[in-house]
Structures are given as structure tokens and as C-alpha cells.
Amino acid sequence: MSKKIEGKVALVTGSGRGIGRAVALKLAGEGARVVVNDLDKDVAYAVVDEIRAAGGQATACEGSVTAPDFSERFIKTAVDTYQGIDIIVNNAGYTWDNVIQKMTDEQWYAMMDCHLTAPFRVLRAAQPVIRALSRAEAAEGREVFRKIVNISSVAGTGGNAGQANYSTAKAGIIGLTKTLSKEWGRLKVNVNCVAYGIITTRLTEATTVASTVKIEGRDIKVGVSPEILDIVKAGIPLGRPGTDVEAAGAVYLFCIPESDYVSGQVLVCGGGLNGV
């Protein structure tokens, strides 16, 4: 059976764990050559090894998406290794919550930098490469579509108490998506967005013990109390949070040829949950 994205070059930020890892594995399993990224070098290369062990192709570009030099390195890795760019998934992210009166400037800008500025920089760095490829293909009389999938959240579409920073950044990525769908249509680029509901990852798993992870040198709280998670589950029409594999499936829909005439759209992947 032929694979729908055979030979395509896919770049996925934050793909060492969780949803990003599932996206990288899904795209690789469908024939894409993947550039894996994660803050943790060992985790990034573990995913590369997993893809290669399954017969796929992958390379790594480790480091923080918020670093000033990251976007150029990321794009250069794809071009130097695979001579092109076909798919970009801006997935990297985390939450750092507080009510607005207690939220610091550091918390605010951390979410803006990760969820909005970093994708902007990646796409800005990719534009000259995509433009050159598109022009060459047009000169040959070929119509080749490329895919950008930005990741938002139902917190970005409807807001969420305690997440003024995260919700604002995730609303902003929708604006970036819709703008680039207009700017890049002439380049045959489909720019779309997936807004997640509750997806089970290390950030959202049920826990009764206070737990943190180290992100950008900060101790970030992870996990959700079972009581709160039960309340959230009750509002999900399908009755449960989604899995990382299901989350990856939503991204995949925007990467295949069947979506070549779909652009500027926001797909909510939330089991029927449209707000939190």
C-alpha cells in the first residue's frame, strides 16, 4: 500500500515526548522524513532511533524553540539533511498557570515566547526556502502543496480561567495561521491549526502528588488532581480525554493530499469538548 506522504520532509517541534512524539512517529510511519526536536538531546535522539528502527528516516535538532538561533538551525537541518521542507508542525509547548493578579511578567512572556514567537520565527525562517521551491516547481508546471500545522488549544478558542498567558498565546497562533494562509496561498502552502481539548500527557495526567518538571531552567508544575480531571471528563461528550495517538491523527489530516484545498482552518480535536 502506498504511503500518502512518502518522501515528504516534516519538521516537528517538541517531538521528543507526548503529542509531538506521536506526531513524529505518525508522519514517519506514513513515509515522511522527520526532523525531531526536543529540549532534551537524549529524548530527541531516542525518537530518531525509534523511527529508524521501524524503517523510517529521521534526524534531530535539539534545543529550545525560544533560543534566538533555533529557527535558523531547525530549517538548516532539514535543508542540509533532506534538501527541502514539506511539512512544519509547530507543536512545542507547556503551561505555566496563575490567575492574572498573581501572574508575573516572566510567566506571561514565557508563554508568548514558546507558543507564539517561536512558531513565528520558524515560519519566517522557512519562507525563503519554501518560496524558492515553489517558484522552481511553478516554472516546471508542477503544483506541489506544502503543509503548515500550528497547534492551539480550546483555551485559545474559548479562554480558560488561570491561563491568561497560555490562552492569549494560543489565540494568537490562530491569528498567525489565518494570516499566513492568505500570504502563502500563492506558494501553494496550506496553513491550518489544530486546537486540542484534554489530551493525556505528562502535563495533564491524574496525580495526587505535587510534581514538577524542569523546563527552560524553571520548575513547572505538571499533572491534574483526579477530582478536577473528573469534572473535566464529565464535560467531554466522548467521555474521556484523548490519547497522544488520536491527537497526532488530527495533525495528519492536515498533512495529506486530501486537504490540499483546505487552508486557514481551525480543527478542534477535543472529543466534542469545545471549551474548558
Each residue's pLDDT tens digit, 15-36: 999 999 999 999 999 999 999 9
Going across the sheet that includes 87-90, the strands are 57-60, 33-36, 9-12, 87-90, 146-153, 189-196, 266-269
Q: How far apart are CA 261 and CA 270, in angstroms?
A: 23
Residue type, 232: V
* Residue 216 banded pLDDT, cuts 50, 70, 90: confident
User: Is-catalytic flag, 82?
Assistant: no
Q: Going by C-beta distance under 8 Å and a sequence separation of 6 or more, which residues neighbour residue 142?
A: none
Q: How far apart are CA 30 and CA 104, in angstroms?
A: 43
Residue with the larger pLDDT of the pair 183 and 218 = 183
Q: Which three cell numbers stand for residue 191?
A: 496553513
* pLDDT for residue 207: 72
Residue 214 lies in a domain: no
Q: Does residue 204 have a pLDDT over 80?
A: no
* pLDDT for residue 218: 84
Residue 211 lies in a domain: no
Q: Are 220 and 105 in contact (CB under 8 A)?
A: no
Residue 209 lies in a domain: no
Phi/psi region, residue 31 (left: phi>0; alpha: psi -120 to 50; beta: rest), is left
Q: Does residue 203 have a pLDDT over 80?
A: no
Mean pLDDT confidence for 96-118: 97
Mean pLDDT confidence for 101-126: 98
Range of the domain at 22: 9-199+243-269
Residue type, 81: T
Residue type, 240: R
Mean pLDDT confidence for 192-202: 94
Quote the number of domains for the chain. 1
Residue pLDDT, tens place only, 65-87: 999 999 999 999 999 999 999 99
Q: How far apart are CA 96 and CA 259, in angstroms?
A: 34
Q: Are 261 and 147 in contact (CB under 8 A)?
A: no
Residue 193 lies in a domain: yes
pTM above 0.85, yes or no: yes
Residue 65 lies in a domain: yes
Residue 235 lies in a domain: no
Q: Are 174 and 191 in contact (CB under 8 A)?
A: no
Residue 34 lies in a domain: yes
Catalytic residue among 166, 196, 252, 261: 166
* pLDDT for residue 82: 98
Return the CATH number at 38.
3.40.50.720
- The pLDDT mean for the chain works out to 94
Which value, to the nearest 10 degrees, does the dihedral of the CA atoms of residues 269, 117, 163, 11 take? 30
**Residue 37 three-state SS:** coil
Q: Does residue 239 have a pLDDT over 90?
A: yes
* Residue 52 banded pLDDT, cuts 50, 70, 90: very high
Mean pLDDT confidence for 247-252: 98
Residue 2 lies in a domain: no
